[in-house]
């Protein structure tokens, strides 16, 4: 086997690494010590403190200590408005709508901070293994969009790692469970971590397992449970200390820390005692919290996860009864009520044979082993979560790669110009499920230049979208007559919010008919414009080959079509266009005949 490739689960709350040893796949850690590295870092005068050692700084230096940085990856300042109110560190706007975290006099991108966590994972692994590690497979939530995947890959590069593959967390879990050893069936992977939720449905067939549907929420997880618990604890303390200001960074972090500890205790007992001490404000408060109280706090979030499960099943046209196995992933699935919810929904006990904290890293480690030349006896097929395409005339969204397409994948479509002598085309890339680009998310843009001047409709521009095994998008354009090319690896404008990801899917169903009619109207209006130009261009031919009454009928119908194109009924406009088409057919035949004759007369005589 070649150089070792470790697997890294870069989590919202915790991170860890794994690889395949002689005895089999396992997380990388020292005997008797936890292999988990908290995804927390603090900037001190002596440099970065990362992991478990950084945890105390959340209350002693909250404005200099960063946690949950994964939630900031590939997102803009507007999308983070809610979080900013609660985070003790400062978030500021950066170029291209992205954000930076201000710590003292310095500003850092989320990628740079994630890189520090990855460096810690790398150096810890090297110290335990006794040799350098330069390559890694890194996992991401299945519902991470292109912006968030790019940000994760960039973080790896900054950390000095060659990121040989980015794979979805649920897919990594499937690998860890060795689900390829089953012959047939469907598996649901329910992945609830610190900051994200995914549900993936996999179809197993022999040694091939394919993700057939994925749904989720990049902004739902254990952090939200902690936040809900913190608010209740704060209200309880406020009843006793009515005049105390409990919104300062230190107080907020103390509440969050107590909430986290309470959540963990309530995962193994029916009730738990807690104590809140804020010495600076002379606050000392004790209380007891029950699992019933906690379960009612997180019920709404758990209902959201089940809605995503239902959506995933509908996307792949399956019933709950057709799911053969359910696998739990993520630290938040240790909560008893989460397991009860999942069991009730899927009507079967979930599989928890592997520690939910470790399963993703182990799967990534196995994938790294395979990429390094190890045992290779199963095929893994992942999918993209939302359709990819480009903007076309009138603001329509032309989907080139559809939702849930298996990756890696490549697809092309031919487009043309709509203006005579156009020498450049701006290509705008979008991701979403609606018919018009105004309802989708813009990923990027580039320009195809150097097209020779031609009449509208003559250039043939082939736009190709390629999504690699990491889910990273590359786009190229080729004008086939001239051979002019342009391409871009998409550097997205920003990522998708939790609300938008849900809305994208909901809106696509809710507005399907309305969107279709609006899209048809735009396309029919564009066709009308082209037909009118063609008629005017060939009117001299009409005067030679058509009677006065035929020409008069065409002019009358053109006015009718013009009136209908101002309306909102696509079908009626189409009917009037068909009438015009019938009236102009003799003219079209004559025009084509003249064009062919003209081309033949230009051609050199054959020998």
Residues annotated as catalytic are: 9, 70, 169, 191
Task: Give the HSE-up count for residue 427: Cα atoms under 13 Å, Cβ half-sphere.
Answer: 30
What burial class does residue 126 get, using C-beta atoms within 10 Å of its C-beta: 0-12 exposed, 13-18 middle, 19+ buried?
A: middle
SS3 label, residue 204: strand
Query: Cα separations (Å) of 509 from 197, 499, 506, 521?
Result: 22, 16, 6, 19
Distance CA 257, CA 248 (A): 14
DSSP code per residue over 56-93: THHHHSGGGEEE-GGGGTT--TTTTHHHHHH-SSEEEE
Distance CA 342, CA 309 (A): 9
Distance CA 269, CA 288 (A): 12
What burial class does residue 22 get, using C-beta atoms within 10 Å of its C-beta: 0-12 exposed, 13-18 middle, 19+ buried?
A: exposed
Distance CA 154, CA 387 (A): 23
Whether 9 and 359 have beta carbons less than 8 Å apart is answered as no
SS3 label, residue 334: helix
Distance CA 573, CA 39 (A): 58
Between strands 5-10 and 14-21, the pairing is antiparallel
Q: Give first-to-last CA distance, the chain, whole Å.
A: 66
Strands, sheet with 184-192, edge to edge from the N-terminal-most edge strand: 325-329, 184-192, 197-205, 208-217, 379-383, 406-407
Unique residue bearing structure tokens 């033949």: 600
Distance CA 314, CA 403 (A): 13
SS3 label, residue 423: coil
Residues in the chain: 607
């Amino acid at each position: 086997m070649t150089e070792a490739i470790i697997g890294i689960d870069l989590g919202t709350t915790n991170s860890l690494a794994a690889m395949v040893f002689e005895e089999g796949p396992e997380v990388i850690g020292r005997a008797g010590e936890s292999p988990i590295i908290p995804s927390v870092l603090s900037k001190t005068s002596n440099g970065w403190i990362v992991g478990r050692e950084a945890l105390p700084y959340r209350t002693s230096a909250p404005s200099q200590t960063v946690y949950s940085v994964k939630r900031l990856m590939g997102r803009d300042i507007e999308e983070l408005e809610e979080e900013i109110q609660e985070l003790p560190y400062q978030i500021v706007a950066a170029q291209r709508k992205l954000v930076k975290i201000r710590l003292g006099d310095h500003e850092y991108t989320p990628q740079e901070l994630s890189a520090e966590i990855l460096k810690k994972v790398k150096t810890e692994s090297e110290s335990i293994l006794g040799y350098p590690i330069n390559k890694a497979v890194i996992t991401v939530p299945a519902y991470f969009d292109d912006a968030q995947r790019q940000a994760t890959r960039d973080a790896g590069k900054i950390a000095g790692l060659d990121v040989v593959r980015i794979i979805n967390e649920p897919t990594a879990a499937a690998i860890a469970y060795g689900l390829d050893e089953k012959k047939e069936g469907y598996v649901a992977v329910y992945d609830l971590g610190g900051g994200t939720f995914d549900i993936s449905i996999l179809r197993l067939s022999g040694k091939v397992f394919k993700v057939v549907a994925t749904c989720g929420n990049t902004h739902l997880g254990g952090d939200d449970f902690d936040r809900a618990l913190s608010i209740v604890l704060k209200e309880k303390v406020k009843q006793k200390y009515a005049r105390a200001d409990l919104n300062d960074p230190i107080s907020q972090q103390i509440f969050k820390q107590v909430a986290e500890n309470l959540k963990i205790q309530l995962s193994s007992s029916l009730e738990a005692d807690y104590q809140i001490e804020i010495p600076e404000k002379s606050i000392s408060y004790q209380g007891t919290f029950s699992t019933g109280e906690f379960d009612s706090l997180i019920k709404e979030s758990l209902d959201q996860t089940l809605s995503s499960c239902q959506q995933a099943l509908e996307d792949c046209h399956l019933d709950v009864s057709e799911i053969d196995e359910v696998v739990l992933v993520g630290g938040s699935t240790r909560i008893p009520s989460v397991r009860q919810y999942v069991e009730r929904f899927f009507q079967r006990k979930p599989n928890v044979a592997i520690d939910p904290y470790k399963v993703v890293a182990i799967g990534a480690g196995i994938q790294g082993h395979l990429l390094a030349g190890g045992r290779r006896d199963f095929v893994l097929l992942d999918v993209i979560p939302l359709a990819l395409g480009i903007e076309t005339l009138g603001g329509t969204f032309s989907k080139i790669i559809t939702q849930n397409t298996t990756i890696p994948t490549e697809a092309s479509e031919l487009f043309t110009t709509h203006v005579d002598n156009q020498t450049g085309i701006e290509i705008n890339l979008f991701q979403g499920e609606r018919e018009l680009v105004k309802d989708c998310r813009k990923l990027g843009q580039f320009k195809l230049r150097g097209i020779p001047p031609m009449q509208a409709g003559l250039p043939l521009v082939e736009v190709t979208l390629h999504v690699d095994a990491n889910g990273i998008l590359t786009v190229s354009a080729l004008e086939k007559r001239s051979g002019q090319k342009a391409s871009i690896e998409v550097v997205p404008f920003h990522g998708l919010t939790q609300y938008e990801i849900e809305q994208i899917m909901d809106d696509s169903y809710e507005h399907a008919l309305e969107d279709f009619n609006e899209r048809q109207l735009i396309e029919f209006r564009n066709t009308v414009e082209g037909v009118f130009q063609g008629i005017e261009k060939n009117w001299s031919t009409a005067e030679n080959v058509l009677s006065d009454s035929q020409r008069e009928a065409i002019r009358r119908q053109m006015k009718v079509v013009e009136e209908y194109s101002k309306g909102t009924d696509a079908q009626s406009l189409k009917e009037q266009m068909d009438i015009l088409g019938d009236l102009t057919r003799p003219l079209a035949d004559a025009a084509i005949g003249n064009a062919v004759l003209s081309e033949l007369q230009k051609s050199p005589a054959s020998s």
